[in-house]
Amino acid sequence: MPTSPRLLGRDDEIRCLDGVLNAAREGRGGAIVLRGEAGIGKSALLEHVRNAPGFVVLEASGSEFEAELPFAALHQLCVPLLDHLTELAAGRREALEVAFGLATGAPDVLRIGLATLDLLTAAAADQPVLCLVDDAHWLDEASAKVFTFLGRRLPADPVAMVFAARQAGVLDQLPALVVEGLSDADARALLAAEPVDDKVRERLLAEARGNPLALLELPRAGGFALPEVSSAPSAIEAGFQRRVAVLPADARSLLIVASADPTGEPLLMWAAARSLGVDVTTAGAVAEASGLVSLSTRVRFCHPLARSAVYLAADAAERQAVHLALAAATDAQVDPDRRVWHLAQAGTGPDDRVAAELERSAARARSRGGVAAAAAFLERAATLSVEPRLRAERTLAAGQAKFDAGAVDVAADLLSTVEVELLDSPELARADRLRGQVAFARNPVNDGPEFVLTAARRMTGAAARECVLDALEMGLMVGRASGVTDVVVREARSMPPTPDVLNALVVLSAEGHRAAVPLLRQAFTDDSLMWTGHPALATMLAGELWDAEVHHTVTAWLMKTGRAAGSPFVLRLGLAQTAIMAVHAGDLGAAMSAIAEEEAVADALGVAPLPYPRLHLAAMRGRRDELAQHTEHATRAAARLAGLLVANAHWASAVLHNGLGNYPAALAAARLAVEPGDLYLAGIALPELVEAAVRCGEEKSAVVALEDLTKRTAAAGTDWGLGVAACSRALVSGSEDDYREALEHLEVTTAKPYLARAHLLYGEWLRRAGRRIDARGQLRTAHELLSGMGMEAFAARAAQELQATGEIARSRSAPAADDLTSQEQHIARLVATGATSKEVAARLFLSPRTVDAHLRNIYRKMGINSRRQLKEQFS
């Protein structure tokens, strides 16, 4: 394709973009973001790409007017494909219909992303698809999330996505190509055609700094500003404004209407212009002749700076009239939110009627997942409110919506302007709660939970208790259980006792496990609110009870609810707990699968995966390097957090070093894990402490830890807890009866790693007692169980002990599946159960083509060539 003059000096950029297009033609899709200042040539590069042969081209652009309207840009992109909605599965079709306002319901960004992926891959069935998105720095947040999701999931699909954005901060997780200014030689070549004096040319070159649009537009602007006085874009905008100023009044009015309407919908523009008395036929011809705008099936300005220049050049009265005309021309039934937004822009002062409409729009936006849009509507509603009390309430609501949308600093600013003296007690409590959320988000080690507790003090009854639990959940979410739990318990003691989980925690703190366990169990049977409102706390308490069945019940609820409701947080928590439960059941392959799926969800959301299950898995597998990597991350987090995350890392280190036989290191780590007294973690770390202390000859430490463990497990009364306690007691007492009791309890549980370790410890004791024959049976069983589960460090320890009895342990050949990545393991397991590529794709937020590509890698690594053989390998 020949290079146009506007693309002078862009050979490297064109080569990179052509590479993306050629890969998409071959079925290896991808995305790239062009970044650079205004006028640097991004739009020209998009124009070059737009002309690439053989593609179905879809286009969209961000708009500062629509930056808060959810899925606005995605809707633009998908409009040409909406006829294909009926071809999608019902759930996917409904997800897009909700996103585009065609149906009611709660939007799910991940499902919407998958539905859009299905839509694009369906469109690419006959020829590759090219998606072009200009002005991506103005994308609405919801569309940006979906575009990021799509851009990272196209490696096996014939779809290319090219974005243009002025600065970082949006689509940051996608590959970027920075577009810089032209070289001096190329800049001179581009300017050579302009009839300017040599001295003027030198100053133009200096001011433009290689910016192609500046080089082309500054001469037309009738002069130039000195570089230290103004930037090239501002001079260019001034040039655009001069070109508008000389146009007839009607053409000028038409351009202002076009600049104020972000949809680019010609019919809307014509209708609004006519209502302003514009002769649209003549005005349209003159506007197009100016070169500033193209009026066809879509209104398109020659450059984004031209749009903003036109809008800013209009005076306040002109803009208000234009927005009023656009509001009148917008169908209130089809697009009520955009209509009321225009009404708000048209207002000259407070207007309770418009404020009320904006509040209703905020509710609609929130119901569609447009938290940022809801915040914008509420903020504007507060500004337009006449009645002071309503203004205060709406400002508080806007602050909460801003916080929910991630704009913490804006939320804090709005909160500071709330006239709290106008609020009643419930509203004051909401303000305190928001103040706590903001403080906690800014610095997790500050007094954020204290603000939430202050909110609780303004409440009564169940609402107050719920708020106190919110403070605890807040601490759990970032791994700060220790100190926050103490504060919450102190607060709860001042409240009337109520038979709920909060009361159970108070009793646990004051009277211990024997008194608290029945109350905790009652909370699991009666207090369903704990699961729905505080799922992280529910999982911790299940572990505190040493009850695998309760843990399984909570985890199953999380998984079912997370999938049904489309809640990424609940689903990720459920997957993390599934992995941890599988680790403690010895099904490390299932744990890897759950971790891989949680990682897929986190990747789709653009966030880091949850670290807890990875720590548990690496410890149980005996993988020193893997655990060191995860522990380093947890240790870095300790600089700003304390509690659960670090305690998990210490527990994992204790397990690993006990497996390796490095008992001093295990003892040090176990002490650190137990010391904070965290729910669940302190309990499961105690048997590690007992074992390490006994091996290090620190009998007193072992006895103290055993007493604590016994109190906990005796109160829980589960076979898992009683078996672990009996095994620890056997280590301290040297009683064979205790070892046998441990095996009796553990054999009827799902806690296979603990059963295998009990066989190992019993075998070690027998060998040291000189009973080699008896020891061999226990050690052989231990080795078979441990190696079968993939607990490599403990299996090696069992093999060494067995060798010391005079028997060589049979080595376990590593299955071919061990060479698979965690994602490949998960895909293989799902396919082995009979799942289709489409079903696997839905679980892992991939396209079916990508799943098939992974399957080819799986077959190659495992030396097989069919799904049937895969099923045999995993049966």
pLDDT tens digits, 380-397: 888 888 888 888 988 888
Distance CA 763, CA 739 (A): 10
Q: Please give the average per-residue pLDDT across 707-736, as a whole number.
A: 96
Q: Which of 374-383, 706-715, 843-852 has the highest mean pLDDT?
A: 706-715
Q: Which of 155-169, 368-382, 766-780 has the highest mean pLDDT?
A: 766-780
Rg for the chain (alpha carbons), in Å?
33
Q: Is the model's pLDDT at 639 over the cut of 50?
A: no
Which residue has better confidence, 826 or 24?
24
pLDDT at 660: 94
What is residue 523's DSSP assignment? H
Q: Please give the average per-residue pLDDT across 504-521, as a whole number.
A: 88
Whose structure tokens read 């308490």? 541
pLDDT in tens, 437-494: 777 666 555 555 566 666 666 766 667 777 777 777 666 655 445 555 666 777 777 7
Which residue has better confidence, 58 or 525?
58
pLDDT at 502: 82
CB 380 within 8 A of CB 374: no
User: Roughly what angle, to the nearest 10 degrees, separates helices 198-208 and 232-245?
Assistant: 120
pLDDT at 406: 66
pLDDT at 374: 77
Min mean pLDDT across 211-220, 239-248, 314-323, 328-337 is at 211-220
Min mean pLDDT across 11-15, 153-157, 571-575 is at 153-157
Q: How confident is the model at residue 658 (pLDDT cuts 50, 70, 90)?
A: very high
Distance CA 240, CA 310 (A): 7
- Work out the number of other CB atoms within 10 angstroms of the CB of residue 502: 25
pLDDT at 702: 96
Distance CA 693, CA 671 (A): 10
Q: Is the model's pLDDT at 847 over the cut of 50?
A: yes
Which residue has better confidence, 165 or 527?
165
* Residue 500 CA to its chain's centroid (Å): 32
Distance CA 333, CA 340 (A): 11
Instruction: Report H helices in 209-247.
Output: 212-217, 232-245
Instruction: Report H helices in 230-335.
Output: 232-245, 249-260, 266-275, 280-289, 304-313, 316-329
Q: Which of 562-571, 776-785, 866-875 has the highest mean pLDDT?
A: 776-785
Query: Would you state the structure tokens that stand for residue 82, as one six-digit string?
Result: 């909406």
796: left (phi over 0), alpha (psi -120 to 50) or beta: alpha
Whose structure tokens read 């050579």? 192
pLDDT at 221: 45
Nearest to 341 by CA among 359, 327, 351: 327
Which residue has better confidence, 506 or 794?
794
Could you write out the three-class secondary structure of 32-74? EEEECCCCCCHHHHHHHHHCCCCCEEEEEECCCCCCCCCCHHH
The residue type of 643 is: G
Distance CA 505, CA 487 (A): 12
Query: Percent of the chain having pLDDT more than 70?
Result: 85
Q: Is the model's pLDDT at 507 over the cut of 50?
A: yes
Q: How confident is the model at residue 751 (pLDDT cuts 50, 70, 90)?
A: very high
Distance CA 613, CA 592 (A): 9
Distance CA 473, CA 537 (A): 6
Q: How confident is the model at residue 370 (pLDDT cuts 50, 70, 90)?
A: low
Q: Which residues neighbour 169 within 8 Å (Cβ) at sequence distance 6 or greater? A: 137
pLDDT at 754: 97
pLDDT at 626: 84
Query: Percent of the chain having pLDDT more than 90?
Result: 31
Q: How confident is the model at residue 54 (pLDDT cuts 50, 70, 90)?
A: very high
Share the mean pLDDT of the chain. 83
CB 287 within 8 A of CB 293: yes
pLDDT in tens, 802-817: 999 988 877 665 565 6
pLDDT at 223: 39
Q: Please give the average per-residue pLDDT across 279-283, as a whole number.
A: 91
Min mean pLDDT across 55-64, 171-180, 404-413, 708-717 is at 404-413
Query: Would you state the structure tokens that stand for residue 151, as one six-digit string?
Result: 């851009």
Q: How confident is the model at residue 235 (pLDDT cuts 50, 70, 90)?
A: low
pLDDT at 197: 55
Nearest to 16 by CA among 35, 4, 185: 35
Which residue has better confidence, 412 or 250?
250
Distance CA 273, CA 252 (A): 11
What is residue 286's DSSP assignment? H
Q: What fold does the segment set 5-178 form as a domain? A: Rossmann fold (3.40.50)
SS3 state of residue 462 = helix
Q: Is the model's pLDDT at 850 over the cut of 50?
A: yes
Q: Which of 23-27, 605-609, 860-864 has the highest mean pLDDT?
A: 23-27
Which residue has better confidence, 752 or 554?
752
Distance CA 772, CA 802 (A): 9
Which residue has better confidence, 185 or 515?
515
Tell me the C-alpha to C-alpha distance, in Å, between residue 370 and each of 4, 140, 375, 521, 787. 41, 9, 9, 39, 51
**Rounded to 5 degrees, what angle do the CA atoms 323, 411, 355 make?**
35
Q: How confident is the model at residue 792 (pLDDT cuts 50, 70, 90)?
A: very high
Q: Is the model's pLDDT at 527 over the cut of 60?
A: no
Return the CATH number of 817-874, one of 2.20.25.190, 3.30.300.20, 2.40.110.10, 1.10.10.10. 1.10.10.10
Q: Is the model's pLDDT at 425 over the cut of 80?
A: no
Distance CA 646, CA 537 (A): 17
Q: Please give the average per-residue pLDDT across 542-568, as a whole number.
A: 85
Distance CA 814, CA 519 (A): 47
pLDDT at 778: 95
Strands 293-295 and 56-61: unpaired
Q: Is the model's pLDDT at 531 over the cut of 90?
A: no
Q: How confident is the model at residue 224 (pLDDT cuts 50, 70, 90)?
A: very low
Q: Is the model's pLDDT at 295 over the cut of 50?
A: yes
Distance CA 716, CA 754 (A): 17
Distance CA 827, CA 754 (A): 29
Q: Is the model's pLDDT at 824 over the cut of 70?
A: yes
Min mean pLDDT across 188-197, 323-332, 446-455 is at 446-455
335: left (phi over 0), alpha (psi -120 to 50) or beta: beta
CB 383 within 8 A of CB 418: no
CB 441 within 8 A of CB 411: no
- Backbone dihedral angles phi then psi of residue 129, each to the nearest 5 degrees: -110, 140
Q: How confident is the model at residue 225 (pLDDT cuts 50, 70, 90)?
A: very low
Whose structure tokens read 């719920």? 466
Distance CA 544, CA 244 (A): 72
CB 689 within 8 A of CB 701: yes
pLDDT at 712: 95
Q: How confident is the model at residue 604 (pLDDT cuts 50, 70, 90)?
A: confident
Which residue has better confidence, 273 or 526?
273
pLDDT at 784: 94
Query: Would you state the structure tokens that stand for residue 460, as one six-digit string?
Result: 């009564």
CB 628 within 8 A of CB 873: no
Tell me the C-alpha to C-alpha distance, in Å, between residue 239 and each of 205, 231, 235, 413, 639. 17, 13, 6, 37, 53
Distance CA 684, CA 666 (A): 14
pLDDT at 704: 97
Q: Is the model's pLDDT at 566 over the cut of 70?
A: no
Query: Would you state the structure tokens that stand for residue 442, as one six-digit string?
Result: 């800014």
CB 823 within 8 A of CB 844: yes
